[in-house]
Amino acid sequence: MSFSHPKPAGLPKNPSFSSGPCAKRPGWSPQNLSAAALGRSHRAKAGKEKLERAIALTREVLRVPDDYRIGIVPASDTGAVEMALWSMLGPRPVDVLAFESFSSGWATDVQKQLKLPQARVLTAPYGELPDLAQVNGDHDLVFAWNGTTSGVRVPNAAFIAADRKGLTICDATSGAFAQPLDFAKLDVTTFSWQKCLGGEAAHGMLILSPRAVERLESYVPPWPLPKIFRLTKGSKLIEGVFAGETINTPSLLCVEDYLDALQWARSIGGLDALCARADANAAVVAEWTLRQPAFAFLAKQPQTRSNTSVCLEFADPRVIAMDPKARSGLAKALVSLVEKEGAGFDFGAYRDAPPGLRIWCGPTVEPADVSLLTDWIDWAFEQALAILPA
């Protein structure tokens, strides 16, 4: 086989392209965390001030409305979503949009764990969105703003009625800080520190609208709630959760890292600058696919393509003719070749997704590094194709 792509000479400055935990911000160093309140109680003044500052900067950078509560909760984005599902669902029918792995997991929880009798799951295959016109404003709604494992996002919140009766519960973990969130249409918004700002894992964020607070204070679920899920006491919101009094002990080292990321975001221009950085990274991949016909976006419609978790499938006829196991083997071989060169790590497709690639293009990534990664993919694709059994 003749090779048209020589081995690249340059390496990305930061070869981390994982979709979580994601790349640290440009210029990050462990020295940035020297002010962490290590060895202190999170309930002491020093720890409490750090947590309050994290909430205040989150509100500022994400442009969260003043009357929305913001809480730091355990178990990352998953914990935040589960708290909402178990605490709020039940009084109304519920629609769940399931179009990739995590949103399908929420559908499983709603149907098989909570066993809600009036649950309706609107599905779509990888690369597509469900029919958003089917969403019923009288129902509660559970959905992912950005499908981390499919590279498909909702283009906006126009499908959510402004006069809706139900609550909207939005898993925004790979969209927050890279895509504008329409909080007027979102009653519960969740994300983790480890995605777009490149923070450390295990901590989640829970943002509640006044309507969500009203549901919490007026509805008691018929199932028991573990302490770690409880957001009310005596039918009143536990306000301390949204003032830095976390349900369980947070890592103050991780809190300091999140503060560092938020301060960096603020220093470069806030949300607009973060979104522009992610857009620029995704544009590098889009331009590359015009030159490299071996790959195509998994997202079928351009307006639904993620600018963070950019997912690609094989488009080369030789690869399409292979069975799925062989395609998966080719993708793994390609990623392995690049990783051995130290040119890019953790950019293979999610295990449940179609074989291909998933390149994290969030705002902490540099366009020059994305461009260098595509050069290495060009080289590795030809190499991997040559070594596969005929």
Q: Which domain CATH number covers 60?
A: 3.40.640.10
| Gyration radius from the chain CA atoms | 22
Q: Pick from 222, 248, 267: which residue ends a domain?
A: 267
Looking at the structure, tell me whether residues 343 and 249 fall in a common domain.
Answer: no
Q: What share of the chain is helix, strand, coil (3-state, %, to 5)?
A: 40, 15, 45
Residue 31 domain-assigned (yes or no): no
Both 285 and 334 in one domain: the answer is yes
| Per-residue model confidence (pLDDT) at position 3 | 82
Residue 16 lies in a domain: no
In a domain? residue 249: yes
Q: Return the structure tokens found at 166.
A: 């139900």
Q: How far apart are CA 58 and CA 116, in angstroms?
A: 33
Domain of 153, in residue numbers:
36-267
In a domain, 45, yes or no: yes
Cα–Cα distances (Å) from 342 to 9, 292, 335, 346, 359, in that order, read: 12, 22, 11, 11, 15
Rounded to two decimals, the pTM is: 0.97
Same domain, 287 and 188: no
Report which of 198, 367, 187, 364 is spatially closest to residue 286, judged by C-alpha positions: 367
Answer yes or no: do 244 and 348 share one domain.
no
Nearest to 85 by CA among 124, 111, 55: 111
Query: Do 207 and 297 belong together in one domain?
Result: no
Same domain for 117 and 76, yes or no, is yes
Domain boundary among 250, 267, 284: 267
Same structural domain for residues 256 and 149?
A: yes
- Residue 2 is predicted with a pLDDT of 67
235 and 281 inside one domain: no
181 touches 189 (CB < 8 A): yes
Specify the CATH number for the domain of residue 376: 3.90.1150.10
Q: Domain for residue 92, yes or no?
A: yes
Task: Measure the CA angle with vertex 199, ends 197 and 204; round to 5°.
Answer: 95
* 262 and 321, same domain (yes or no): no
214 and 330 together in one domain: no
Single-letter code of the amino acid located at 152? V
Last residue of a domain, one of 267, 294, 326: 267
Mark whether 250 and 277 lie in a shared domain: no
Q: Using DSSP, state whether 236 is helix, strand or coil.
A: strand
Q: Which segments in the chain show pLDDT lower than 70?
A: 1-2, 389-390
Same domain, 240 and 381: no
Q: Residue 60, Cβ neighbours under 10 Å: how many?
A: 14
In angstroms, the first-to-last Cα distance of the chain is 12
Nearest CA to 67 among 165, 269, 256, 214? 214
- Structural domains in the chain (count): 2
